[in-house]
Structure 1
Amino acid sequence: MEFDTTIFWDALTSQEYLDGAVLSLVLAAAAQILAVIIGFVVALGRVSKRRIPRGIAAVYVWFFRAIPTLLVLLLIWNAGPQLFPALREDWFSPFLAGLIGLAVVEAAYMAEIIRSALLSVDEGQALAARALGLTPAKVMRKVLVPQAIRVALPPTGNEFIAMIKYTSLASVISLRELLTTAQVGVSVTFRYAEYYVAALVYYLVIVSVVMALQAMLERRYRWVSRTPRTWRPGRTASSALAPNAPAPKEVSA
């Protein structure tokens, strides 16, 4: 059996694949945003000087880093309605279950990223800001967070790319995302190569666009000071600043 380009092209350009790709991207973006918010709160607990918040945050990170994401999704979708009757209503959709499951697991990883970023900022920055009369909230918002973003941005971008791929796990809770769309086509035609390769192309395009946006954001937060060229023996300070300027003549005694 050969690769059928017609089936591949029909799947690649179908509305079902486009809807599945959009749903995967929306779910990944929403889950990542929610994970950043939860992770920021957990990170504050991790760096707190009080024992109770620090202990609760540590347990949260330990728990959700220890269990598989797939198991969390199954617990929320299948065991949740069994334990909480309110989840049996129509409002509890596979999208919402996937959003909660992916967000709470990713928040544990984002908490460690944000914690490391906050600790990378020199303590003197906060002390200087407090000496200027800034409140702790303003110190965090205007001094610590802007500097921590620069450190946290690259790993956060990597986590978002991973999140896009983790949305495929939502296929087990009946969410019709990109991979589920490909599996539906395979179950009908048994053309594995064509339908899976079409999904692969969508993932490659989405991740490539995200990587380009990540590179743009990293350049936006890159603080680089322009310095003169390295001084070499035989060059004066003025020639180092102006490489094309003629060297001064030596004055004989």
Structure 2
Amino acid sequence: MTDTVDEVPAATVPPEQIKAIPVRHYGRWLSAAAVIAIMVLIAMAFANANITYGVIPDYITSGTIISGAWHTLYISVLAMLLGLVLGVILAVMRMSSNPVTSTVSWLYVWFFRGTPVLVQLLLWYNIALVFPVLNLGFYKNEMNDVMTPFLAALLGLGLNEAAYMAEIVRAGIQSVDLGQTEASHALGMTQGQTLRRIVLPQAMRVIVPPTGNEYINMLKTSSLAYAVQFNELMKRATDISSTSLAVFEMLFVASIWYLILTSIFSVGQYYLERRYARGSTRSLPPTPLQRLRKNLRLFGSFRRPGEAR
């Protein structure tokens, strides 16, 4: 009988640690250096330009500029409201089975989206050449007295915006499943009740984001209203520059005010989109404050263990 000797396994040698050598991306450094060099050159050009930067803070807080910013704000709000209401009506007409209403809606969108806003503003401002007198039966007046710069700006901006809002609302309505409409009709709801209570609330998730973008675009497009002599921000800045000869300085002032207004409404748009995102995602996107706290926690986790906290 042969004795079996248990074999002792040889000592396992741990594998040599792999030394990972990161790939050097020289192109990234070169492109970053090129971008920084271009930015430095642009900054030096503005610094050496014949621009009196010291007067810009004074003009930003001047009463004339603040009044122009207020006019820009309320003409944008009113034009957007007009465009939104009329856009909903046009979207419903476009989706109607009636060939007359759908054709009229299509022609409206085709015309107002196909012609520049500036041309439409000038058409409304000079409408007295076509209709010298406005006669509604119960009201009669000269068109030149009726078509003020404010009304021309409101109609030019609002009716143009309605064409874009019609397509946005139509896309939102079509995003709602057709079964929702069929179910509401089975419960005895009318077409109008279905639209108000079932379709539009669900379509808001699709309508709100582009609508916010359209309003921010409206704030900037309202600068074209200076062509019809409406006293908005760009018109006030141009009037000051024509007397003070501070042309570039006033362009900086107008740009700063537009940035302020668009930044404020961008924050409002974010929270509005976050509200309508409820129910469509498992977790809501973080607010700016929550993102800041998260970044601060990440920064704290990168500290070395022996570093004081």
TM over 0.5: yes
Is the contact made by 2:124 and 2:147 (CA closer than 8 Å) also made in structure 1?
Answer: no
Q: CA deviation at 1:225?
A: 5.0
What stretches of structure 2 of length at least 5 have no aligned partner? 1-48, 135-141, 284-309
Give the residue type in structure 1 aligned to 2:259.
L
Q: Greater share of helix residues, 1 or 2?
A: 1
Q: Which residue in 2 is equivalent to 1:103?
A: 158
Q: CA deviation at 1:90?
A: 3.2
Greater Cα offset, 5-14 or 115-124: 5-14
Find the partner of 1:71 among 109, 119, 128.
119
Deviations 1:8-31 (A, max 9, x none): 111101011101001001001100
Find the partner of 1:50 among 89, 92, 98.
98
Deviations 1:23-54 (A, max 9, x none): 00100110000001111111011111121111
Coordinate RMSD, CA, aligned: 1.4
With a CA cutoff of 8 Å and minimum separation of 6, indicate the structure with the bigger relative contact order. Answer: 1
Is the contact made by 2:240 and 2:250 (CA closer than 8 Å) also made in structure 1?
Answer: yes
Q: Which residue in 2 is equivalent to 1:174?
A: 229
**Partner Cα separation in structure 2 for residue 66 and residue 136 of structure 1:** 32
Is the contact made by 2:216 and 2:262 (CA closer than 8 Å) also made in structure 1?
Answer: yes
Q: Any residues of structure 2 matched to 1:106-125 within 5 Å, and which?
A: 106-125=161-180
Q: Any residues of structure 2 matched to 1:214-225 within 5 Å, and which?
A: 214-222=269-277, 223-225=279-281
Deviations 1:185-240 (A, max 9, x none): 1111222221111111100000000100000110111124548xxxxxxxxxxxxx
Greater Cα offset, 165-174 or 80-89: 80-89
TM-score by length of 2: 0.71
Q: CA deviation at 1:81?
A: 1.3
TM-score by length of 1: 0.86
1:28 aligns with 2:76: yes
What stretches of structure 1 of length at least 5 have no aligned partner? 228-253
Change (3 A) 1:176 1:135: same
Equivalences, count = 226
Deviations 1:57-92 (A, max 9, x none): 1111111111111011111101x1122223535343
Q: CA deviation at 1:113?
A: 0.4
Give the residue type in structure 2 aligned to 1:29.
V
Is the contact made by 2:75 and 2:222 (CA closer than 8 Å) also made in structure 1?
Answer: yes
**Partner Cα separation in structure 1 for residue 252 and residue 101 of structure 2:** 47
